[in-house]
Amino acid sequence: MLNPTEIKALLSKIQAAKPGVECDISGSSIADQTVKVKESGALDQSASQRTGVTLRVWNSQGRIGVVQLTSLDLGEILLAVDVALDAAPLGPSEDIPELPKLTGGVGFISAESPEVDAKSVSVSIETLGAALEKGVSKLRAFHSDIQGVPYNALSQRRVERFYANTSGLCRTQVSSSVSTYLYGRGQAEGHNPRAAGHWGEEYSLENLNISEVAQVAGSTLVAHLRPGKIHSGQYPIVFSGRAFLDLLNAFGNLFSAQNILDKQSLHSKESLGQEVASELLSVSDDPLHEFNIAPALFDGEGTSVRKTTLIEKGVLKGLWHHSVSAKAFATDNNGHARVGAKMTVGPWFYNVAPGAGLGDFDKDCIWIDELQALHAGVNSLQGSFSLPFQGFRIQNGQKLSLESVTVAGDILTLLKSISALDVKQERASGGLCPAVAVSSLSITCES
């Protein structure tokens, strides 16, 4: 168990052994247990306990060396300090972050450790196994055409995060979560096999409704068991909230200040204040939203996270920042740093504002439930995507599942052609988002 006292003591020992060295140390210690139910019915069980540490050391010229390791052992940390000091003169000479200080002003960081109770009480692995077996059984029994649940898991995890530095800043945080996914496989007579699933995440097993996850997974799978074909062409499209968030996240460089500085973004500095999307679209990053299970309270530089407006009524209002990018943009650091050899930024929890409803779109559209293979089908620097998906053709009150279909388009064009947003938000693993309707995109269907 890490605590501020131990972390501070470690830093004191580093300072004693390496007088005058300025450094910070951040990372996490994670303990988790996972169960899976194999097709044979046997339980697959695993557990791990691991620590990941990033050590940053500033040399006397203000250059920085960064080392990653898997131990908080003093001997190994001291060795890593030496490696970092060796690496510092060879690393970047510009845009070097400063050691976060305990001073006031913009981006002030509290020295107090935020106390977050781990909201869950951990349970035995037998309890996890029994809960998952019930869920798997329920999904198997949901329909006679469901043949198995090849992908399933139930995990509980406890994460202890920390950030501390030689200027006296020290923050620690404990969180816990329980998550599950159930992905079933089924086949109707005369059709190809299909697969579909659902997931859930909560603070504790007590709060996690695995039965509901199985119910949603079952109904989704059954809805896809008798697919049909459509002609390739242009169709009105509705992305489910989850699918839209996946797409938005795949083009994360749109909101990354660091990517803009590196000229690896579809946006530029000048895009701020410009209309980059339909006026119907408003997106924020809301790390402390109540639906964000186990939120981080501080980023990799120890900066408190906070809500950031990204797009407001179609206008680009903000970006994810760390200390260096905030300085370059002459704006406030909003606590999105991911610390490594090179600092990057990333999202915490998207919140796409709901709209006035889908109107006629839910009567005539291609409904995209889930986008697949985003790692392969997105060219984030080109702005294009061509992605397989799971979804339906909805027309005249009929809902036809589709198989072997892809959707293709350009993200900048898509954002500007958003025509409607649903009134309800869907809760997904990375945020909240309503269904989003787009006037037209290319659909290819295997003939």
Partner 1 sequence: MRPLLERDFNTCFSSAEAPLEGPFGESWRPLLSLILGHARRSGADFAEIFLERRNSLRVSSENGKISSVAPSFSLGAGVRCFKGTQDVFVSTNDLSRVGLRWAVDQALSMLGCSSRMTTSLGRDVQLEPLRDFAAIKKKERWLGDAAGVSDISDRLLELSSDLKKQVGHLQSDQAAAFRDWQEVLVAASDGVFARDIRLHQLARAGVNCADGTHRTSLHEQRASTGQPRFLNEVDLSPLVAEIAASAGVMLRADYVSAGQYPLVMANRFGGVIFHEACGHLLETTQIERKTTPFAESLGKPIAHESLTAWDEGITEGAFGSTDMDDEGMPAQSTLLIENGILRNFIADRAGSMRFGHPRTGSGRRQNFSFAAASRMRNTFIAPGAHTPEELIASCDSGLYCKKMGGGSVGATGEFNFSVGEAYLIEKGKITKPVKGATLIGTAVDIMKKISACANDIELAPGFCGSVSGTIYTTVGQPHLKVDNITVGGRA
Q: Which of residues 12-71 bind partner 1 (CB under 8 A)?
A: 31, 33, 38-40, 42-51, 65-71
What is the footprint of partner 1 within residues 330-359 (CB under 8 A)? Answer: 340-342
The rounded distance, in Å, linking the Cα atoms of 318 and 334 is: 10
User: Among 107-115, 123-131, 297-305, 325-333, which window interacts with partner 1 (CB under 8 A)?
Assistant: 123-131
Label residue 203 exposed, middle or buried (CB < 10 Å: 0-12, 13-18, 19+).
middle
| Residue 309 in the binding site for partner 1 (CB under 8 A) | no
The rounded distance, in Å, linking the Cα atoms of 277 and 52 is: 39
| Residue 144 in the binding site for partner 1 (CB under 8 A) | no
Amino acid at site 268: S
The rounded distance, in Å, linking the Cα atoms of 28 and 54 is: 9
Q: Which of 375, 396, 397, 398 binds partner 1 (CB under 8 A)?
A: 375
- Nearest Cα neighbor of 138 from 211, 188, 202, 187 is 211
Give, for 134, the enclosing helix (H) or strand (E): helix 125-141
| Residue 372 in the binding site for partner 1 (CB under 8 A) | yes
| Residue 406 in the binding site for partner 1 (CB under 8 A) | yes
Q: Which of 27, 97, 135, 148 binds partner 1 (CB under 8 A)?
A: 148
The rounded distance, in Å, linking the Cα atoms of 69 and 245 is: 32
| Residue 392 in the binding site for partner 1 (CB under 8 A) | no
Amino acid at site 394: I
Amino acid at site 166: T
- Alpha helix (H) residue ranges in 383-427: 411-416
The rounded distance, in Å, linking the Cα atoms of 278 and 311 is: 10
Residues that contact partner 1, how many (by CB under 8 A)? 84
Tokens at 285, concatenated? 């990053």
Q: Which of 160, 301, 403, 422 binds partner 1 (CB under 8 A)?
A: 403
| Residue 396 in the binding site for partner 1 (CB under 8 A) | no
Output 66 or 432, the one with its CB closest to partner 1: 66
Question: Coil, strand, or helix at residue 274?
Answer: coil
Dihedral sign, Cα of residue 327, residue 330, residue 333, residue 337: negative
What is the footprint of partner 1 within residues 156-185 (CB under 8 A)? Answer: 156, 158, 183, 185
Q: Which of 27, 377, 391, 434 binds partner 1 (CB under 8 A)?
A: 377
What's the min distance (Å) between Cβ of 160 and partner 1? 11
User: Among 15-23, 211-219, 284-292, 379-387, which window interacts with partner 1 (CB under 8 A)?
Assistant: 379-387
Q: Which of 56, 194, 322, 336 binds partner 1 (CB under 8 A)?
A: 194
Residues 6 or more apart from 290 whose CB is under 8 A from it? none
| Residue 211 in the binding site for partner 1 (CB under 8 A) | no
Output 92 or 359, the one with its CB closest to partner 1: 92
| Residue 230 in the binding site for partner 1 (CB under 8 A) | no
- Residue 65 pairs in a beta bridge with 57
Output 137 or 444, the one with its CB closest to partner 1: 444
**Whole-Å CA distances, 71 to 19, 82, 173, 211:** 22, 15, 18, 39
Q: Which of 103, 106, 189, 263 binds partner 1 (CB under 8 A)?
A: 263
Contact 251, 266 (CB under 8 A): yes
What is the footprint of partner 1 within residues 411-440 (CB under 8 A)? Answer: none
Q: Which of 2, 10, 23, 80 binds partner 1 (CB under 8 A)?
A: 80
What angle do helix axes 210-223 and 125-141 make, rounded to 10 degrees? 30
What's the min distance (Å) between Cβ of 76 and partner 1? 7
| Residue 382 in the binding site for partner 1 (CB under 8 A) | yes
| Residue 206 in the binding site for partner 1 (CB under 8 A) | no
| Residue 93 in the binding site for partner 1 (CB under 8 A) | yes
Output 60 or 110, the one with its CB closest to partner 1: 60
Contact 66, 340 (CB under 8 A): yes
Number of alpha carbons in the 13 Å side-chain half-sphere of residue 121: 2
What's the min distance (Å) between Cβ of 55 and partner 1? 10
Output 83 or 280, the one with its CB closest to partner 1: 83
